[in-house]
Every structure is written in C-alpha cells, then in structure tokens.
Amino acid sequence: MKKITTLLLVSIFGGAITLGSYKLFLEKPNYAVVTENADHGFFNTSYTPTSAKGAGINEVDFTIAAQNTVNSVVHVKNVTVSSGPTTIMEFLYGSGGSQRPQVGTGSGVIISPDGYIVTNNHVIANATQLQVTLNNNKTYTAELVGTDPNSDIALLKIDAKDKLPYLAFGDSDNAKIGEWVLAVGNPFNLTSTVTAGIVSAKARDLGGMTNQSFIQTDAAVNPGNSGGALVNTNGDLIGINTAITSQTGSYVGYSFAVPSNIAKKVVEDIMEYGNVQKGILGINTVRSSTPYAIENGINEVDGVYITSVEEDSGAYDAKLQEGDVLKKVDDIVVHKFPDLVGYISTKRPGDEIKVTIDREGETLVVPVVLKERQTLVVPVMGLEVKNLNPEDQKKFKTKKGVKIVGVPESFRGYGLEGKVLLAVDNKEIGNITDAKNLFGGISKYGKTSITMINEKGERERLIFQ
C-alpha cells in the first residue's frame, strides 16, 4: 500500500512539474516582460503581439526592406569649433577664450551609387568637418553640396571608389494613413537601427516650427535618427526623419519626416541650380484655431481661406481674391494649410497648377502660374517684407526701406502691415538684403526698436521686448 501511495504522489508531483514547465517555457505569454539592467540603463523586452482581425503585423514582411535600407543609411558626424571663456576674468571682461571642438551625430541616406547623401540641415549646421560612416564601417570625409534651412534638407557628397547601395525616392503623396513604415537611423550612436510603425498622419503642421508639411508616424525615432530614412515595406524612400514631439528629448510616440517629394525637389534644385527654386502661389491666409480665425468666423472652413493676395504674384494674375476658399490644387484635396504647403513645396517658378476655389458658393477652376518670391521673411521677428517699387517710393516719399507685406500672428495688432520699415535699432535699411542682415543680428532676448513710416508720411518708432 505504501508503494502505491508513493507512486501516486510521485506521479502527481511529476505531472505538476511537467505542466509548470510547459507554462513557463513553451506557452508564449501575451504581455510585455520588462527588466532593467542597472549597469547601462537599457531595457530588455519580450513581447508577443496578437493579430487583430484582418492584416496583422505577422502578415507583413519587413525583412527585405530593412536589409536594403540599413546598407543605404549612414552615420553622419558633425565637428564644430566653438570658443568661449575659460577663466572668470575672460567671462567678465570678454577677452581671451579658447576654441573647443564639439561633435554632433545624426544620420543620412545614400541616394545615388556615386555617393550623394541627403540628410537634415540641422545635422550639419555650422560644421567645420563632416564625416560619414557606412554600414560596413568604411569612413569618408563628406563635402557639403548645398542646404535648404526652410525644408531642413541638406545634400552631401562622398568620394567612394566602389558603387554604393542607395535608396530611390518614392512618391510620398501615395503614402496612406495606417500604412506600415520603417524608420532607419543611428539613435544614441546605435548604428543601423530599424524601428517599425504606421503613418499616423500626413501634411502635419508643427505649430510654426517651420513653414513645412510633415509625415507623422509612430515609428520610434530618437536623437541621432535625424536625417535617416523612412521607407515603406517595398523599401521606397518616402521621407527623411527630422523631428519628434517630446518633453523629455526622447521618443514618446510621435515622430515626423520631411516627405520624399519635397526632399527630392530640394536635392534636384541644389544639384541643377545651386539653390532651391521656390515657386509661390502668392496668397495670405490665417491658420485655424488662432484668435483671428475664431473671431472672424472662419475657423471651421474646410480648405484654405484667402485673406489677401500678394501683388505681382501668380494668384494676383489669376484674379484670386479675399474670401475665396481654396479647396484643391491639381489632384490634391486641400483641407488645411499644410496640405497646400506640402504640394506647392514640390513646385518651381514657372510651373502651372490648377486651383479649385469656392467663391461665394460657386466652384471655379483657375490655372495659376507660380512665380519666384519677391519678398523675404526676416529672422527673429518673422515680418515679411519686399523692396519698394516706384509706386511705393512715390507714395511714401522715400527711396530707401522695405514695405511690410506680412505679419506673423504674434505681432498682429501693432498696425505694422502696409508700412515702410526704415531702420532697425537705428541702423538704416536700404533693401530686403539689409533687412535680412540687420534682423539676423538682433538678440531674441533683448530690446529691438524699429522705425517705420506710414502713408501719411508720419514716422513711427516701436520698441519690442
């Protein structure tokens, strides 16, 4: 009897061990297991995703796109030299100081077999030396071919003897919300890092950071990813990873990329013309959710509400007018301002587009020829100014100065628009080049005075903090 009891207990105990082992080692958990490594601050994670009804992540093959992309994405090192005081006396009296090299890193994408590389302007800004490391660890000195701060795109060139792996530009207009994408770059100097996500939104406006339209994704992007590739599952380059929204400086779920159609156009312009050819429509508008839009009852408009039309522009020649609501450009439906900006940014002066507008309930399709911008947005304050034409010189009785034709939201209400700007901090302005240089030299944190003249010939002086 004792033997039977012993065998029974052994069997029960053995069965429990077997069942526990199966649960522990063979059955896959459906939750994340996270352990922290206190030595280096990295986290080990284990996660088995569940597929929703329809297409799930397990039905998408990322491997080919990832393999092709990592070999075409490079590590960019930016060396800048800064100088500053090294002693308290140098700090107090502003003399002496020493030069110190500073190193920044980012990513880039090879776009041709002979070594042209696209990256972000902020990755290479103020560089005294640029170094590029390929995925095979070969390192090259890079030359800056050209840059466009407005779109945050820069073009580099390395002299490689062998043909290099590269990515072809895809059509970012064809990207769909919900489509799977991969972000490839070098976050925190972790080279050849691939993350996956979906297109969360298109034509995203970052609230005045730039006059730009971005692709938003939830693929993890961190410092060092800037300038890297955003590709679809076919391996087509549909964006250049540029920014994140974060209160910590690290990824919290939102990342943004310059659409490939904009980046491609900038690159082509730099290679062919040496600078970016910007075609403008020539309209002024007001962005949604601003006090002006709410107060004037245009916050709920589906499209772009035209508040004014610039003289000598394509919109002026096509007789667009205040109160028109722009609904479509060519085949692109326009719901908001970034939809328009994203498409116009791919065009050049001389290009003709078809603009669909709603004018007091009537739908009109108007051909518009884009022109080169005759105005300039000055640094810091963001005022848009233009050179005086003969009519302006006669009306304001001055041959020097620039006319204010656009005012950002933060300076509306001061009565600036339409007046002639004569001086900044008592330094005379002759033309838009002078305005750019003078405004570029003022501090964001000090006081700035501007001298203007109105249509009555009266001089006005305003001081801004």
DSSP state of 192: S
Judge whether 408 and 385 are in contact, CB under 8 Å.
no
Judge whether 160 and 143 are in contact, CB under 8 Å.
no
How distant is the alpha carbon of residue 118 from its chain centre? 14
- Nearest-CA neighbor of 249 among 187, 334, 314, 158? 187
Which of 200, 226, 260, 313 is labelled catalytic? 226
Residue 411 has φ and ψ, to the nearest 5°, of: -115, 5
Query: How far is it, in rounded angstroms, from Cα 161 to Cα 259?
Result: 30
152 included as an active-site residue: yes
DSSP labels, 114-177: T-EEEEEHHHHTT-SEEEEE-TTS-EEE-EEEEEETTTTEEEEE---SSPPP---B--GGG--T
294's CB contacts (< 8 A; 6+ apart) are: none
Residue 233 has φ and ψ, to the nearest 5°, of: -70, -10
122 included as an active-site residue: yes
3-class DSSP state for residue 269?
Answer: helix
Which of 72, 122, 200, 345 is labelled catalytic? 122
Which of 152, 205, 218, 434 is labelled catalytic? 152
Tokens of 122: 């902020």
- Nearest-CA neighbor of 212 among 153, 160, 164? 153
Query: How far is it, in rounded angstroms, from Cα 207 to Cα 339?
Result: 14
Query: How far is it, in rounded angstroms, from Cα 323 to Cα 301?
Result: 11
Catalytic residue ranges:
122, 152, 226
